[in-house]
Structure 1
């Protein structure tokens, strides 16, 4: 009999709808039932693309005996960590405190009010060396609840206090060694010396953390450093020649290491979630929307700034993957592709990566003996078991020609394999990142189809996720409905608004900027409140309303200031406000930015990868916006003017059509003089003499860049 997971947005939850376990979603009803029955909550957290989540589900949650025991002694609650990162963050902190480790599936035992008192990750169906079986764990917890309840309550209290203390300790540590958050002077810009010093410290720390042999940062497992790439781009494009050169080198080395490695699917495009090995040779085969959106954007920008190095190819391949494999009817994008390819009998133990790997024999069968052997050598496929394609470097011209000839045949052969499952829930924030990435890539690569795809995805977010009457943004949708979704987090509001602004910047109508402005205004109302003492600074939360179980478990309700695999919601919202300041020429937006960034000195020196977006915004805060405002003339006049601005229209200059009915404030007072096509070039809060031709515009742009 289906449980309460039927009809949920999350594919992960729906996968468990027919389990013999009476799963409930994380909501008030589940905890009310636990209180009524006076039994613990068993909280299971995972996600659709998680290999060991599938294993534990197959071994334990599909077992009738295990299901019956769970139902009798617990209220079982299932959470998709991608849908509810708020829940995942609090109980991952509890799991790490209790076990000194973490991961997914995450198995946490809670009091009926939500406090954690015991936790683990994967438990096998039978005892293993150093690991009890899942049934043994359940029986031990049930017995302790019945016989040693006061002891468990004390443990739950200690864990909740520790979780709350961790958050306070982080804020205290950041604030104790840092100068106060940057003030915005009358001209709207912080001191250049302060920003230069901050960026130099961050760059030094990043260079010190770089893997000099294999590229990227740190050891194994090695994740793509997606959230720090915009910081390297910003410094590389800056005015300090030495810092710019060092940042450019680090950026190029990092991108080249990833795109020449097994982290990239060389057959069909798209990046995997991370590498199990330091040298990027063995990927964990999940493909996530958020990774590919961020890396598409980085490669498209690199293609504009580093022409001739092949970044355009990688960007196009990544965009192609998104459109071909993650795009859903209606234009939005699914969350991920699974790591596993289950066999016909449902076994998930041996299927991780099976869709993607090759043996030398398989390559020879598809390509013929000579070409197959050459491609196997080129792509690092040794004799023996199936392996990922791993050239280990960016290919030269001859190697690329060999690969280009083989790739379509391998793609056709691979398409006949059983493909991994797709999690088709639509996450608002991740789709906002995809909108931004596709819009930028469309403009920078000269591919209108990508810009159209970005606008269609944005249309889904506006039509399905945004409730204009209630002024609320839903976090998830499924099959065109957001009815079962929670309200979006701050990151959802911020990333959707940022996506809309980038879409406008890439050439879409100004209504998208107006929609971004509306979402940003609501975010300010929903996720901030006056700080202690009622000062002007706002206190920000990642959630508009923090659920009672999370507060009981130790959540402080305060926003997490650190980037993870996606940027911090506060940092993205700060970027949105700064863009609105530039578009509207309204200093009120800029004044809201510093409290969102908070203190950054310690992070810049010790952990810049945790603050890449915030540091990028801090750098942008020191630069005056540039505008090219177009008035009058024909559509062709304006298109030619935008082409003259070139990549700068996306990277560093706002091109504004003053005749658009939703034109932002930067167009105010900049009219078509004498009824003629007129271009106003403005920078550093001053405008040059209006001109009336693209040739004159190009001349002025050369002067601005000089």
Structure 2
């Protein structure tokens, strides 16, 4: 047995944060499980992530404590996992924890047999008993005592849990079709849960819940129930104006702790930016509101400035905590303001009082004596670009503060989400920098995270982690398709096709479905599928979406057939439930209602802008829009390539396996598309 803490060679910044703990941490591996078997010790598994506030709290209280660490080292083999680096492990044990009756969350604390079967668990434990929860050291002693004196009972419980996990995470079922009414019915139920004043789900804390927001948008646009469109737009406006948005530096925080989006939990996560950016595109296309475009441009700038690493990849997250004026690590210290600090930064500007009214700056603040800048009150100049000089001054003042830590590992799936969003925003807003950022991130992932045509999940400082997960392939396939749609560069389609073949090789189950973990991963008690959604769609939904989008962009029917087969198999596993799986509902929706549009012409053509504007306003989340001047630039497998309009501008639309004749006037185009101007 190797003594001591073994996290010093880890790739994950989260694991590296724990390399100096007196705990004898190991990374998750087959070797760590074998050590537990040799030592005849249960495993203490701790799962968290770098931007997790309560993970830091538990680390400071317990894992940095010599006395607590001595107990951990004596009684357990201790394994630390970054949930972002190993989402398959997190998915497996979060499912187990919830089956034990716990709500779940991070840090996650599980106790396992040496073969990895869970028999007890929870989340954060205080160092001493409090709030009805045992103290951590007390818990350690109790669990080990149970292991020593009641092992047979624990092993039976663990075996039952394994059977439960096998049934719920790895099962196979006959394929079934989703009823055509499923999405509309789920959206209607969801609409009844929406906060009528502030958007989002009623109550607190308040999460953006991006997959559910997409469900509302899919149901509402272009001509669905007006209530669904308005629920989506109301939520999006609140996200743009609330304190959950960083009004100084751009970007969306992870969630709000209150019911009106005012005070965020201050971490910033890459997938939240990606999904927010896509929603801003839909909101702007539907309404033309400058607010949505402004936030999109600010979010792109934030990603370029604070999330891009050397070489072009995009980092995972920014921490919620940073040092305050006393040097103490405090949640939100980088983002909060005193009125005096605002006054000092804006000294000499003529509109200080108007700015303070608009952004809720008062002597008493709006959060524990501090101010979190927001625009929820609606006072002051309502234009989103207002107070530009004031916000620049505050940005410059804030730059002098200690910055939150950055988790600079690059995750293929999160980068795939961001690349797709940047490609779509770049095309919609004509933002060259968004497209450049998308290309740079795509090139980073495909050049630095692929070996022998096989994708890897994470990298940092030139080192690769283990093989990719199904979610990595799903999002990068979608990213490749989106970049082709935005640029018409054929290499993106070629890469997407290669990724789709690698997905089948390493993750296919032989029946058309997929496992989250690769076939040659030897360190998992079982191979889970990725059916459930979280803050982002699950691996299954991402695969279905990616393959379906690739089929639309390249016209290769085999990819659409694979997507449909995977979706039907997943529905067979899930059963009649629909609303609980919004990502899969979205995938079925694309498969059922996907369409392809080509706008032919040059921007110099009279009438081109009017045609483009008509396309923009008809928001259809299942349609891809290609803008080009030469049909020869399209792959021959795409039905749109057969059309050569006799004059420009012209639009051709293919849907329901039928291509309509070209139209040349905005009125005819609006009728063809089912004009979406009623969305606002």
Q: TM-score, normalization: structure 2? A: 0.87
SS of 2:81's partner is strand
Return the alpha-carbon distance in structure 1 between the equivalents of residues 256 and 460 of structure 2.
30
Could you tell me how far 1:290 is from its partner in structure 2? 0.4
SS of 1:139's partner is helix
Structure 1 match to 2:373: 389
Q: C-alpha offsets along residues 6-63 of structure 1, whole Å, 9 cap, x if unaligned?
A: 2322110111122222211111110111111111111111100011111221222223
Q: 1:94 to 1:397 in 2, by over 3 A?
A: same
Structure 2 match to 1:292: 273
Is the CA contact (8 Å cut-off) linking 2:423 and 2:434 kept in structure 1? Answer: yes
Deviation larger for 587-596 or 5-14: 587-596
Which one of the candidate residues 574, 588, 596 is aligned to 2:558? 588
Is the CA contact (8 Å cut-off) linking 1:489 and 1:543 kept in structure 2? Answer: yes
SS of 1:104's partner is coil
Q: 1:678 to 1:561 in 2, by over 3 A?
A: same
SS of 1:19's partner is coil
SS of 2:516's partner is coil
Is the CA contact (8 Å cut-off) linking 2:614 and 2:669 kept in structure 1? Answer: no
Could you tell me how far 1:156 is from its partner in structure 2? 2.2
Return the alpha-carbon distance in structure 1 between the equivalents of residues 189 and 183 of structure 2.
10
Could you tell me how far 1:701 is from its partner in structure 2? 5.2
Structure 2 match to 1:66: 68
Is the CA contact (8 Å cut-off) linking 1:114 and 1:549 kept in structure 2? Answer: no
SS of 2:192's partner is helix
Return the alpha-carbon distance in structure 1 between the equivalents of residues 571 and 227 of structure 2.
21
Is the CA contact (8 Å cut-off) linking 1:490 and 1:523 kept in structure 2? Answer: yes
Q: C-alpha offsets along residues 77-131 of structure 1, whole Å, 9 cap, x if unaligned?
A: 1100111111112222333344623221111111111111222222233443533
Q: How does 1:322-471 map to 2 (within 5 A)?
A: 322-342=303-323, 347-348=328-329, 351-368=330-347, 372-384=352-364, 385-392=369-376, 397-398=381-382, 400=384, 403-467=387-451, 469=452, 471=453
Structure 2 match to 1:38: 40
Is the CA contact (8 Å cut-off) linking 2:640 and 2:659 kept in structure 1? Answer: no
Return the alpha-carbon distance in structure 2 between the equivalents of residues 340 and 214 of structure 1.
27
Is the CA contact (8 Å cut-off) linking 2:554 and 2:637 kept in structure 1? Answer: yes
Could you tell me how far 1:289 is from its partner in structure 2? 0.3
Q: 1:705 to 1:103 in 2, by over 3 A?
A: closer
Q: Which has a greater percent of helix?
A: 1
Q: Say if 2:502 is the partner of 1:522.
A: yes
Return the alpha-carbon distance in structure 2 between the equivalents of residues 161 and 226 of structure 1.
32
Q: Say if 2:28 is the partner of 1:26.
A: yes
Q: 1:126 to 1:232 in 2, by over 3 A?
A: closer
Return the alpha-carbon distance in structure 1 between the equivalents of residues 614 and 22 of structure 2.
56
Is the CA contact (8 Å cut-off) linking 1:637 and 1:677 kept in structure 2? Answer: no
SS of 1:329's partner is coil
Return the alpha-carbon distance in structure 2 between the equivalents of residues 444 and 278 of structure 1.
32
Q: 1:135 to 1:405 in 2, by over 3 A?
A: same
Q: How does 1:625-636 map to 2 (within 5 A)?
A: 625-628=595-598
Could you tell me how far 1:267 is from its partner in structure 2? 1.2
Q: Say if 2:625 is the partner of 1:653.
A: yes
Aligned residues: 659
Q: How does 1:480-495 map to 2 (within 5 A)?
A: 480-482=462-464, 485-495=465-475
Q: 1:540 to 1:658 in 2, by over 3 A?
A: same
Structure 2 match to 1:189: none
Return the alpha-carbon distance in structure 1 between the equivalents of residues 359 and 146 of structure 2.
55
Which one of the candidate residues 314, 325, 334 is aligned to 2:295? 314
SS of 1:79's partner is strand
Q: Say if 2:518 is the partner of 1:544.
A: yes
Structure 1 match to 2:177: 181
Q: How does 1:108-123 map to 2 (within 5 A)?
A: 108-123=110-125
Return the alpha-carbon distance in structure 2 between the equivalents of residues 621 and 671 of structure 1.
23
Which one of the candidate residues 9, 13, 16 is aligned to 1:14? 16
Q: 1:43 to 1:347 in 2, by over 3 A?
A: farther
Deviation larger for 18-27 or 358-367: 358-367
Could you tell me how far 1:702 is from its partner in structure 2? 6.3
Q: 1:654 to 1:576 in 2, by over 3 A?
A: farther
Return the alpha-carbon distance in structure 2 between the equivalents of residues 37 and 461 of structure 1.
40
Could you tell me how far 1:249 is from its partner in structure 2? 1.3
Structure 2 match to 1:479: 461
Q: How does 1:634-649 map to 2 (within 5 A)?
A: 645=612, 648=615
Could you tell me how far 1:568 is from its partner in structure 2? 2.0
The gaps in structure 1 that reach 5 residues or longer are 183-193, 532-537
Structure 2 match to 1:142: 144
Return the alpha-carbon distance in structure 2 between the equivalents of residues 515 and 667 of structure 1.
21
Supply the RMSD in Å over aligned alpha carbons: 3.6
Could you tell me how far 1:413 is from its partner in structure 2? 1.2
Q: How does 1:185-196 map to 2 (within 5 A)?
A: 195=180
Q: Say if 2:489 is the partner of 1:509.
A: yes
Q: C-alpha offsets along residues 109-157 of structure 1, whole Å, 9 cap, x if unaligned?
A: 1111111122222223344353333222223333333333323323322
Q: 1:603 to 1:437 in 2, by over 3 A?
A: same
SS of 2:509's partner is strand
Return the alpha-carbon distance in structure 2 between the equivalents of residues 654 and 204 of structure 1.
32
Q: Say if 2:195 is the partner of 1:211.
A: yes
Structure 2 match to 1:622: 592
Return the alpha-carbon distance in structure 2 between the equivalents of residues 113 and 68 of structure 1.
23
Q: C-alpha offsets along residues 304-352 of structure 1, whole Å, 9 cap, x if unaligned?
A: 221135210111111111111111111111000001113588744xx01
Return the alpha-carbon distance in structure 1 between the equivalents of residues 98 and 385 of structure 2.
49
Return the alpha-carbon distance in structure 2 between the equivalents of residues 35 and 588 of structure 1.
46
Could you tell me how far 1:486 is from its partner in structure 2? 1.6
